Amino acid sequence: MAQSPSETELMLRGYGLTTAEIFYRIPDYRNVLNSFVWQEYDLAPDHPKLFEFIEFWHEEIEGPLHSVRFTHRKLISPGEWRNVTGEFHYH
């Protein structure tokens, strides 16, 4: 069984944190909007995981979507990461 990559490995591969706020209608009360927040590491600009989740919602969840708004943020850029092999403390 393959082990899934850690968050740090994903960030070093170019993934960033995508946060989506999903507004949907409650099936029994179509005039009521509810919201759901979804977060996952995803690749911009295509956002394959976000669109996969939206497809899942359409197929499996009864509450029809009203709207989705999202933001994406890379948490580590290549210039910010450095490998530290030792550390010195001076008094």
Tens of pLDDT along 24-67?
999 899 899 999 999 999 999 999 999 999 999 999 999 999 99
d(CA 43, CA 23): 22
Domain count, the chain: 1
Amino acid, res. 80? E
Is 82 within a domain?
no
Is 87 within a domain?
no
Range list of H helices, 1-91: 7-12, 48-60
Is the Cα dihedral 24, 26, 32, 38 positive or negative? negative
Count the alpha carbons within 13 Å of 90 in the hemisphere toward its beta carbon. 0
Q: Which domain holds residue 66?
A: 7-77
What predicted TM-score, i.e. pTM, was given to this entire model? Answer: 0.75
